[in-house]
Structure 1
Amino acid sequence: MSLEIRTLDESDVADWVRALHTGFHLAPSVTDEEVAARRVAFDLQRTRGAYDQGRCVATFRSMPRELTVPGGAFVPASAITNVSVTATHRRRDLASRLMAADLADARERGEAVAILVAAEYPIYGRFGFGPATWVADWEIDIPRAAVDHRYAGPTDGGRVDLVDVVEVRKVGPGLHERVRALTPGAISRDARWWEVATGERTFPSQPWTEPFFAVHRDAAGEVQGLLAYTTIDHPWPGKLPRVDATVRQLLAANPAAEQALWRFLLSLDWVTQLNTGHRAPDDVLPLLLGDPRAARTETLADFMWLRVLDVPAALSARTYGGAAGRLVLEVRDPAGLCGGRYLLETDAAGAAQCTPSSTESPELSLDVADLGCLYLGDESASRLAALGRVAEHRAGAVRMADALFRTARRPWCPEVF
């Protein structure tokens, strides 16, 4: 059977969206309105399909994004999404062919890394991706949380106010730009992201429910935090309140704003359960509770996976911990995109330069997928060495890698993309 892999023309979009819906177990047919709503997000040159006798049976799309790395620099990233293969066409290397074509293009465009959110853990390691950030979801039992319900607002001289979508569209993008510069693992948002998040752009297959929005302003009146949450009012057994609140997003540019927004949520009248949504795995929230055991972990799992495409560009962009150091890495890449030997040199301030090296002896060797695990600082080289996934060729090289790569707080990607 001959299966064609290619980028899309305008006439392919409706069939591609239908295949996407089929692969994601949505409605098997799509309306013109759904196609039009989704088309806005596509760069046809970055959108691919696999075709069997003219019918789309697999989908793949990528987007240009900036990824924040330790130290606050942004690196160009290819954000991969909408990967699906129709059930009738599995096990025919379609995902592999789509991925290979997109990664080669991304490397040619100068994107230093590729990133994605993995629906299933076993899929993407074979393409050179490793889990670079993790995510936690907590369910807070408010009656057991031992919080002060007399809370009357921030103690830093600021205030929390409920706002409408017009205000969110005005202040949200600028706040996010500040927050993402402080958050290794965060990615850039385009204008369309805010249109979807505020209901300006909707999809027929995903009915819009407007959340409550709140902002934190400091004593000078500057926005330092943004919150979006929804509520569900259940029947009240025995005339006791039972309302669930769910966080859609919570952004904070400093600890005072973060604590103020969490305390606002924890003090809402009638709310007995708070679902935090996706948070960093080392979020401060549980320790804000009088009884942290009231925060039940609902999810603790890998989230954003990362694949290095340009080792010198990626490793030179971030900053590193510890004292000045040097490390020679041997990177294995079966796909042939970035394998080789590289010298990483860092100064006392953490600034780095990474260059190819053909004369140095390797001190540490690893697969490109494991380099993806280490890159943002979440994984430990010592742990990977214990698993046999990192090989040490010079005594102390693993310890040096841990000192350089690890970060004080875990990286976090707030976006589903």
Structure 2
Amino acid sequence: MTTQVRTLHASEWDGWYGKLERAFGGVPESPEERGLFRDLTEIDRSIGVWDGAEVVGTAGAFSFQVSVPGGALLPAAGVTMVSVQATHRRRGLLTEMMRQQLDDVRSREEPLAVLTASEPAIYGRFGYGTATYQAQLRVETERVTLTLPDGTDGVRLRVVPPAEAVADCERVYAQLVAGRPGMLARQPGWERLPLLDPPGDREGAGELLCVLAEVAGEVRGYARYAVKPEWGSSGPDGTVRLRDLEALDPVVRAALWRYLLSVDLTSTLVSYNRPVDDPLLHMVSDIRRCGVQVREGLFLRPVEVGAALAGRTYAAPVDVVLDVRDAFCPWNEGRWRLSGDAKGASCERTTDAPDLALSVRELGAAYLGGTRLSALAAAGRVRELRPGALAEASDAFGSDVTPWLPHGF
């Protein structure tokens, strides 16, 4: 078999994307969704594998900025649209695309690469660690009450068409990005993603709605949702399907949750992506009635270890030598001295004796502060070489706010 891996030409996008759809089950996306991702695709960051005239593999990347502990926004390649046709599996094509892609990321001086995975088992061998988790909720709204902060009744709520509220919602979102690691600064065009609402994808629900929360005339929060009406033998049994909810303060957040849990003719609220430290879990009367399930969210790999570790701050003073293994990106191999605190950090090569030994995958998992190095050590994935170094580094890498990716890509 002779195959060729190369960058996509703009005229090839439709066939290339069609093969991606085939690899994910063959059901064509709606014209709205397909059109959005056609507009968002960065052609010069999209690659394919050709077997003759046939596309048999796809991969792409978006140019993102991701929030890291300390509030900085670091450049990150958002790896996406990865597929290999079933006829060409186990021939090294994925590895070849990952190789070309990470070399390109390095040439662009992006210290991080991030992705979401349809199959989480795939990407560990390429150095990606699970950096964020997300909570899925199924709240029995008729059996749960909320403890509300003072002032909740002073919040004004307005339901508006989502397209009319984009500017207000984006203004709220932008104010929150630096405060939670893992959030993506919204690049031009991405404000359209939360508005996607093809009728064929609603599965019996109504159109997407947006509720704005205002205080003294200022929009300080929003939620986008749809209602799926259902009726049982005892009456209405509808479901609120929450797409996203963001708020700038606890009072506004409480007002939005109270509204959503009180929508007429519904008994359930479902959300598939909330932070695992969502304040709602401390407002409800019975967490058992919230059906909480946790799954992985964002996978992250440092592409340039030194720049990545120096680009964030640390919750406690740290001075450790890390012995890093990275067979796929060998420029990261070796010993790195990380010195930092809440004000900043440096990370330089060193010949000093190592304090901790780990692979770049463990660094990716711990990088945003959502996974403790001590937990990885307990699983045998990090080795302590100097007594006390593990506790020091584990505390330093932590984040007071749990990292979270609000939406996929």
Task: Classify the TM-score, shorter chain.
Answer: over 0.9
Closer, same or farther: CA 154–234 of 1 in aligned 2, 3 Å: farther
How far the C-alpha of 1:36 sits from its partner, in A, is: 5.4
Given the alignment, which residue of 314, 335, 338 partners 2:332?
Answer: 338
Residues 10-409 of structure 1 aligned to structure 2 (within 5 Å): 10-27=10-27, 38-147=37-146, 155=152, 157-199=154-196, 210-218=207-215, 220-238=216-234, 240-297=235-292, 299-322=293-316, 324-335=317-328, 336-347=330-341, 349-357=342-350, 359-409=351-401
Deviates more, 1:19-28 or 1:3-12: 19-28
Rate the CA distance shift 1:398–1:277 in 2: closer, same or farther, 3 A: same
1:230 maps to a residue whose letter is A
The letter for the 1-side match of 2:12 is D
Q: Deviations over 1:245-270 (max 9, x none)?
A: 01011112222222221111112222
Q: Relative to structure 1, is the Cα distance of residues 23 and 131 closer, same or farther in structure 2, using a 3 angstrom cutoff?
A: same
Task: Give the deviation of 1:26 after TM superposition.
Answer: 2.7
Gaps of 5+ in 2: none
TM-aligned CA distance change 1:232 to 1:207, over 3 Å: closer
Distance 1:371 1:231 in 2: 41
Q: 2:321 and 2:255 mapped to 1: Cα distance? A: 45
CA positional deviation for 1:194: 1.9
CA distance in 2 between partners of 1:38 and 1:412 (Å):
23
C-alpha distance in 1 between matches for 2:201 and 2:249: 33
* Larger CA deviation: 393-402 vs 202-211: 202-211
Q: Which amino acid aligns with 1:231?
A: V
Helix, strand or coil for the counterpart of 1:40? helix
Distance in 1, Cα, partners of 2:17 & 2:102 = 22
Amino acid corresponding to residue 367 of structure 1 in structure 2? S
**Aligned-pair CA distance for 1:191:** 3.0
- CA offsets 1:31-83 (integer angstroms, 9 cap, x no match): 99986554212221100111111100111110000000111110000001111
- Residue 308 of structure 1: how far off its partner (Å): 0.2
Is the Cα contact below 8 Å between 1:246 and 1:274 reproduced in 2?
yes
* Displacement of 1:196: 3.6
- C-alpha separation between the residues in 2 aligned to 1:48 and 1:369? 24
- Higher mean C-alpha displacement, 368-377 vs 160-169: 160-169
Give me the whole-angstrom Cα distance separating, in 1, the residues matched to 2:198 and 2:304: 36
Q: Is the CA contact 1:34–1:205 (under 8 Å) kept in the aligned structure 2? A: no
1:181–1:210 distance in 2 versus 1, CA, 3 Å:
farther
CA shift for structure 1 position 222: 2.2
Cα 1:33–1:211, aligned 2, differ >3 Å: closer, same or farther? closer
CA contact (8 A) 1:147 1:266 kept: no
Q: 2:116 touches 2:297 (CA, 8 Å); kept in 1?
A: yes
Q: More displaced, 369-378 or 9-18? A: 9-18
Aligned-partner residue type, residue 241 of structure 2: T
Query: How many equivalent residue pairs?
Result: 406
Any unmatched runs of 5+ in structure 1? none
Q: Aligned partners of 2:140, 2:22: CA distance in 1, in Å?
A: 38
- SS in structure 2 opposite 1:195? helix
Q: TM-score, structure 2 length as denominator?
A: 0.93
Q: Deviations over 1:150-204 (max 9, x none)?
A: x9x95273322212234322212222111111111101223322224335xx779
Q: Distance in 1 between matches of 2:261 and 2:32?
A: 39
**Residues 1:288 and 1:86: Cα distance change in structure 2 (over 3 Å):** same
Tell me, yes or no, if the aligned pair for 1:104 and 1:337 is still in contact at 8 Å: no
Residue by residue, what CA displacement relative to the aligned partner does 1:202-226 show, whole Å, maximum 9, x if unpaired? 77986797311011122x3322211
What is the CA–CA distance in structure 2 between the aligned matches of 1:172 and 1:146, rounded to whole Å?
Answer: 27
CA distance in 1: counterparts of 2:189 and 2:309, whole angstroms? 30
Pair 195,146 (structure 1): closer, same or farther in 2 beyond 3 Å = closer
Asked if the contact 1:381/1:402 (under 8 Å) is kept, the reply is: yes
Per-residue deviation at 1:119?
1.1
Q: Secondary structure at the match of 1:277?
A: strand
Q: CA offsets per residue over residues 338-389 of structure 1, 9 Å max, x none?
A: 2221111124x442122222x3211111000000011001111112112221
Q: Given residue 333 of structure 1, which amino acid in structure 2 is its aligned partner? A: D
Inter-partner Cα distance in structure 1 for 2:70 and 2:30: 45
| 3-state secondary structure, aligned to 2:365 | helix
* 2:3 is aligned with 1:3: yes
Provide the C-alpha distance between the structure 2 equivalents of 1:41 and 1:18, rounded to a whole number of angstroms.
16
Give the stretch that moved more between structures: 117-126 or 401-410. Answer: 401-410
Structure 1 residue 147: Cα displacement: 4.6
Measure the CA separation in 2 of the matches of 1:295 and 1:369.
Answer: 33
Q: Determine the C-alpha separation between the residues in 2 that align with 1:377 and 1:245.
A: 32
TM-score w.r.t. the length of structure 1 is: 0.91
**Is 1:381–1:401's contact at 8 Å kept on the other side of the alignment?**
yes
- Do the aligned partners of residues 204 and 310 (structure 1) sit closer, same or farther apart at CA in structure 2, a change above 3 Å counting? farther
Given that 2:67 and 2:177 are in contact with CA atoms closer than 8 Å, whether structure 1 keeps it comes out as yes
